[in-house]
Amino acid sequence: MYGVVGKPILFSLSPLLYKNYIRLAVDSVKEAVELKDQIGLKGINVTAPFKGEAFKIASRVSEYAKKAEAANILLFNDNEIYADNSDIDAVIVLAGKKNGQALVLGAGGAGRAAKVALKELGFNVAVWNRSKKDGTIQTIPENKFDLIVNTVPEPPILNIDIDSRYDHGGILWLKEQAKKTSLLFYDQEFIDPGTLTRDFNPRLIYLTGMMGVGKTTTGRALAEKLGVNWHDTDNIIEEREGKTIEEIFNERGEEYFRDLEREVISTIHEGVVSVGGGIVSGFKEGSLVVVLVEDKEILKSRIQDRPLRHKFDELYEKRMPLLFKASKLVIRSKKDTAERLHYEISETFKY
């Protein structure tokens, strides 16, 4: 399993380029490293604002990552973390020329990578940044630049040659940097999938994950923040049957309960849905499937009254790979998970 981290990250189109690849919402690269064994991550791509941290956390770095002091690729191998930078490769290809005067907009990880790339091509490089940093300018001179590279969300000028924003040509950058990622992650050449179009929307949001992970609490809070309806499949089933989930399991068996779950899921077409831990498929096309994760031992301590508690480890190994495959976003279950999900949705869809 591989993935991409950033804040925000739901907007990322990277999962459309690779296989067995997830979006992981974390607050730091350190958090992603903490989750890597639980999720089964062999490596991650890193986007803003974590590229500097990715470089610092690595135990071995490539020459490009060292020059930029930023990494957008991390590979996990036993106790080693290897960092590389494919943004530099991308800008070198996209520049299409050598030498001259260049301007880079932004001094973050992508901006530093762009600067390194342009210097490799023989350009004299000026770096503009909104806030003052060493070696940057805050006023753009009027002299003509031969090449302008943008790495910020809201650039101060319009005439840009290479842009990291998806809707301003950034897909070309994304695909160019994917060439090195594909070789490092999958040991194969990158195959261009063509047009990239986001394959989900927030009209219908499923919160999934193992029993005890907090789907009900998070779902209720998220629905309130979004101003939409909240549905909980376990609550709906208990109300319809007039019995608790455990009573249904004991009297009618697990297969009967799963049939009820599938029936309930099929009738919900909008809002936020907190689904039972056994639902790993049947999500409506175009929906936003969010997988909540938490440490296995913490989850076990929360489910002493659940019907399938004695099969937790077996179910975890069976269900989680299927949920990761169906997911559009994976996020750790914490007190502020609903707030983070609201932020991700708002940033991606301007909800």
6-63: per-residue pLDDT in tens? Answer: 999 999 999 999 999 999 999 999 999 999 999 999 999 999 999 999 999 999 999 9
What pLDDT band is residue 183 in, cutting at 50, 70 and 90? Answer: very high
Three-point CA angle 297, 300, 305, nearest 5°: 165
Residue 302's pLDDT band (cuts 50, 70, 90)? confident
Query: Residue 312: is its pLDDT beyond 80?
Result: no
Q: What is the 3-state secondary structure (H, E, C) of the chain?
A: CEEEEECCCCCCCHHHCCCCEEEEECCCHHHHHHHHHHHCCCEEEECCCCHHHHHHHCCEECHHHHHHCCCCEEEEECCEEEEECCHHHHHHHHHCCCCEEEEEECCCHHHHHHHHHHHHCCEEEEEECCCCCCCEECCCCCCCCCEEEECCCCCCCCCCCEECCHHHCHHHHHHHHHHHHHHHHHCCCCCCCCCCCCCCCCCEEEEECCCCCCHHHHHHHHHHHHCCCEEEHHHHHHHHHCCCHHHHHHHHCHHHHHHHHHHHHHCCCCEEEECCCCCCCCCCCCCEEEEEECCHHHHHHHCCCCCCHHHHHHHHHHHHHHHHHHCCEEEECCCCHHHHHHHHHHHHHCC
pLDDT confidence bin for 278, thresholds 50/70/90: confident
- Residue 304 pLDDT more than 70? no
Domains identified in the chain and CATH numbers: 2-86 (3.40.50.10860), 89-171 (3.40.50.720), 204-327+339-349 (3.40.50.300)
Q: Quick one: pLDDT band at residue 351, thresholds 50, 70, 90? A: very low
Given a contact cutoff of 8 angstroms between Cβ atoms, the answer to whether 299 and 312 are in contact is yes
Quick one: pLDDT at residue 333? 93
Tens-place pLDDT, residues 212-263 = 899 999 999 999 999 999 999 999 999 999 999 889 988 998 889 889 999 9
pLDDT of residue 305: 63
Per-residue pLDDT of 54-87, as tens digits, reads 999 999 999 999 999 999 999 999 889 999 999 9
What pLDDT, on the 0 to 100 scale, is given for residue 211?
Answer: 82
Give the Cβ contact number of residue 206 at 10 Å: 27
Residue 124 pLDDT > 80? yes
pLDDT band at 105 (very low <50, low <70, confident <90, very high): very high
Burial status of residue 339 (CB atoms within 10 A of its CB: 0-12, 13-18, 19 or more): middle
pLDDT score for 134: 85
Of 235-244, 275-284, 333-342, which range is least confident?
275-284
Q: Mean pLDDT, to the nearest integer, of 78-97? A: 96
- % of the chain exceeding 70 in pLDDT: 97
Mean of all residue pLDDT scores within the chain = 93
Residue 299 has pLDDT above 80, yes or no: no
Please tell me the pTM assigned to this model: 0.93
